[in-house]
């Protein structure tokens, strides 16, 4: 067939939509569409993606061709065009492929537009601390948070509790949610029945009906390999919070390597940028009681919390503590404690001071000093504190000095003792390193 006989007669007769690695092209007059996903650029600046062409033309209705395409290679474009021509010979596929590849390469490499950071561009943003959070005080807007700890220490339970609060648009136990936030729960750990039972018990404990509208997806492959399907779900469901339980499964079992972690968090971040949503990752600990895996998960997250529990054998309740390990914007928060009770299919959470449980041993030294000095009208001497804490007096004096000078936690009394600065616990934030 000659070039003149082919249908396409304009190099601008198409529309392109999408961003961040997923694009859709529509040749409306041709009744041809193409979806491009899984875009990746290698160290040689070669851009590859998975391309799927479909048709609404009477002569070739339905799927035309799909496959991997090296968009930066003229040979790869020409080969793909020849295969398409076999299915639908009335279209100028060389021109279509040129339009597709050049436009996607340009968009992908252009990245996000440059904007001016002012109140005209972002009229709803102010500098107040609480305005940064979709779920105060644990999940920042459009950012990644990690809960990590030992197995069965309450990481997933807290994530599920937060998911229920977001799903309903309600607050509880010091966790504030101001609006309904659609949730997607990606589960590498359990199954739909187990998670539904847990969600039911949390909802009943909150006095809600058993049924939620949380979106659930069991996961078996790495998050990166499934990212386009996840992107579509997030867009279709208008997801505002995505929970990844857990990091190990999402990395395909390669959590200790840098690349899988970077690829996973970058993939989720690309959706976060598009849809303005928050992400909560669940992680584990290694033998040294540190977060298991590559340090880049710690670097890439905006907030990191270590989750610990205190439970006596046979108890139907447990104490769970959230210990703030990292904050990119602001001060570290005091440990947050919760009493979790299970009774007759109900799971209830109530606020509980970690200083009144076995979790106190996990406080840092300044927090332990502050705990000992609670309700001590005359304060305590460095010698008494050292004896109670099993530390040298030199060590305690250093902690007290830093607490007075740098963190405004302590005050030195006229009798030489030290006492806590008097203020409401809810207002205390300490920048501890």
Among left, alpha and beta (phi > 0; psi -120 to 50; other), residue 253 is: left
**Domain 132-358 is found in CATH 3.40.50.300:** yes
pLDDT of residue 427: 39
For domain 364-430, give the fold. Answer: Arc Repressor Mutant, subunit A (1.10.10)
Length of the chain counted residue by residue = 433
Residue 417 has which token pair?
A: 């003792």
Do 64 and 54 form a contact (C-beta atoms < 8 A)?
A: yes
**What is the model's pLDDT at position 157?**
96
Q: Is 315 helix (H, G, I), strand (E, B) or coil?
A: coil
Give the Cα separation of 243 and 184 in Å (integer).
6
pLDDT at 196: 96
Q: From residue 240, how far is each of 180, 223, 243, 276, 380 by CA, in Å? A: 9, 18, 10, 7, 48
Q: Where are the domains of the chain?
A: 3-110, 132-358, 364-430
pLDDT averaged per 10 residues, the chain (length 433): 46 77 89 91 90 94 95 96 94 94 89 77 64 90 94 93 98 95 96 95 95 96 90 94 95 84 90 91 90 90 94 82 87 88 91 84 86 87 93 94 88 92 50 34
Q: 364: helix, coil or strand?
A: coil
Confirm if 306 and 261 have CB atoms less than 8 A apart.
Answer: no
Which pLDDT score is estimated for 125? 65
Judge contact between 398 and 355, C-beta under 8 A.
no
Beta bridge partners of 47: 41
Predicted TM-score of the model (pTM): 0.77
Distance CA 184, CA 169 (A): 15
């Amino acid at each position: 067939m000659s070039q003149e006989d082919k249908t396409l007669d304009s190099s601008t007769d198409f529309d392109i939509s999408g961003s961040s690695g997923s694009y859709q092209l529509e040749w409306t007059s041709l009744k041809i569409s193409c979806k491009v996903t899984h875009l990746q650029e290698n160290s040689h600046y070669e851009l590859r993606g998975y391309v799927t062409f479909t048709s609404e033309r009477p002569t070739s209705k339905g799927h035309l061709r799909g496959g991997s395409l090296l968009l930066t290679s003229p040979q790869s474009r020409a080969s793909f065009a020849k295969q398409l021509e076999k299915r639908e010979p009335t279209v100028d596929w060389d021109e279509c492929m040129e339009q597709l590849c050049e436009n996607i390469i340009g968009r992908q490499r252009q990245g996000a537009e440059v904007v001016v950071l002012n109140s005209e561009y972002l009229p709803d943003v102010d500098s107040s601390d609480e305005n940064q959070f979709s779920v105060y005080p644990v999940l920042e807007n459009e950012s990644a948070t990690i809960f990590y700890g030992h197995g069965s220490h309450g990481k997933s339970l807290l994530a599920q509790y937060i998911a229920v609060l977001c799903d309903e648009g309600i607050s509880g136990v010091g966790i504030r949610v101001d609006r309904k936030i659609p949730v997607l729960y990606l589960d590498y750990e359990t199954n739909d029945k187990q998670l539904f039972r847990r969600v039911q018990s949390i909802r009943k404990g909150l006095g809600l009906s058993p049924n939620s509208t949380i979106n659930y997806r069991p996961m078996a492959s790495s998050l990166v390999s499934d990212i386009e399907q996840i992107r579509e779900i997030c867009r279709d469901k208008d997801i505002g919070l995505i929970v990844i339980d857990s990091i190990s499964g999402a990395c395909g079992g390669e959590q200790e390597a840098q690349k899988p972690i970077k690829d996973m968090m970058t993939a989720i971040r690309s959706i976060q940028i598009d849809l303005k949503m928050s992400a909560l990752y669940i992680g584990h600990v290694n033998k040294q009681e540190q977060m298991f895996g590559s340090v880049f998960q710690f670097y890439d997250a905006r907030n990191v919390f270590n989750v610990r529990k205190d439970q006596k054998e046979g108890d139907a309740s447990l104490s769970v503590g959230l210990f703030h390990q990292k904050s990119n914007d602001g001060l570290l928060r005091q440990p947050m404690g919760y009493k979790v009770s299970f009774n007759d299919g109900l799971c209830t959470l109530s606020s509980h001071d970690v200083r009144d449980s076995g979790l106190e041993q996990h406080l840092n030294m300044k927090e332990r000093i502050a705990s000992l000095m609670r309700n001590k009208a005359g304060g305590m001497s460095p010698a008494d504190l050292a004896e109670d804490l099993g530390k040298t007096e030199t060590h305690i004096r250093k902690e007290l000095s830093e607490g007075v000078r740098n963190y405004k936690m302590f005050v030195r009394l006229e009798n030489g003792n030290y006492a806590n600065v008097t203020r409401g616990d809810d207002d205390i934030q300490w920048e501890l390193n």
